[in-house]
């Protein structure tokens, strides 16, 4: 994860990464908020003998954010939506509420990773708040165009070619916060996740079936990327 040319010393470098940390935090109203810390290069424990400060600063220290407002898993499958960076969820991440974004920053994070994404929702306020708190944002395209859209998903209707399904949805994202008024990407945006866990979905037999599965998954990802 660290290239030798990033080191200021010829000494061998060492690093260790602790296990993914999952923390359940209760708000004053006892709402369960599960926050999974994930570090691409290092977080829980990281040592790199002779590593430059610039190399350390470039490490992603991210929080996977999905604050489902439930006290238990009961009812999770009945939630109408899982877009937690829209204005309806401001009470959890915004300055007038629980200020989850500030908590993440105080924990040492520099990025927040998101999952649900309803392109019809405006995400400007979340991106502005994250940027103000010093956090980059890594949103993701929802599963809807891939296999949840009925009818019309690329899993069922277009043989894993997802271009026509993803393009109009991503265009909505651009109009609803991803682009600034001067038509540039919002400065908080760092990465865009095309599809979460594609080998479990497009198709579900990618890892366990025959050779067609990886080809279909690749077709879905490449066509979706092209649409963006």
> Which pLDDT tens digits describe the chain residue by residue (228 residues)?
223 333 333 333 232 333 332 222 233 232 223 333 333 333 443 444 455 666 666 789 999 999 888 888 887 778 888 899 999 999 999 999 999 999 999 999 999 999 999 999 999 999 999 999 999 999 999 999 999 999 999 999 999 999 999 999 999 999 999 999 999 999 999 999 999 999 999 999 999 999 999 999 999 999 999 999
What pLDDT is recorded for position 3? 30
User: What percent of the chain is modeled with pLDDT above 90?
Assistant: 66
The whole-number pLDDT of residue 52 equals 65
Residue 4 is predicted with a pLDDT of: 32
Residue 58: what pLDDT? 77
| Cβ neighbours around 214 below 10 Å, total | 15
Bridge partner list, 39: 61
Say what the pLDDT of residue 53 is.
Answer: 65
Distance CA 51, CA 72 (A): 43
Q: 40 near 60, Cβ under 8 Å? A: yes
Cβ neighbours of 178 (radius 10 Å): 21
Lateral strand order in the sheet of 32-39: 21-26, 32-39, 61-65, 111-113, 136-138
At 11-39, the pLDDT tens digits run 332 323 333 322 222 332 322 233 333 33
The helix or strand, by DSSP H or E, that contains position 94, with its residue range, turns out to be none
- pLDDT in the model for residue 70: 82
On whether the CB atoms of residues 178 and 185 are closer than 8 A, the answer is: yes
């Amino acid at each position: 994860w660290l290239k030798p040319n990033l080191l200021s010393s010829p000494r061998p470098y060492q690093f260790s990464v602790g296990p993914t940390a999952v923390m359940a935090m209760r708000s004053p109203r006892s709402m369960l908020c599960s926050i999974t810390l994930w570090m691409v290069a290092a977080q829980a424990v990281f040592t790199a003998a002779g590593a430059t400060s610039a190399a350390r600063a470039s490490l992603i220290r991210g929080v996977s954010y999905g604050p489902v407002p439930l006290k238990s898993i009961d009812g999770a499958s009945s939630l109408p939506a899982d877009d937690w960076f829209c204005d309806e969820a401001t009470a959890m991440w915004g300055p007038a509420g629980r200020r989850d974004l500030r908590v993440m920053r105080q924990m040492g994070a520099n990025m927040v990773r998101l999952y649900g994404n309803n392109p019809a929702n405006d995400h400007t306020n979340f991106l502005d708040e994250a940027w103000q708190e010093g956090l980059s944002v890594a949103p993701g395209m929802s599963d809807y165009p891939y296999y949840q859209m009925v009818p019309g998903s690329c899993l069922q209707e277009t043989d894993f070619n997802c271009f026509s399904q993803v393009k109009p949805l991503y265009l909505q994202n651009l109009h609803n916060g991803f682009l600034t008024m001067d038509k540039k990407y919002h400065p908080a945006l760092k990465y865009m996740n095309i599809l979460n866990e594609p080998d479990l979905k497009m198709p579900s037999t990618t890892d366990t079936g025959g050779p067609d599965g990886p080809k279909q998954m690749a077709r879905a990802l490449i066509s979706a990327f092209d649409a963006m």
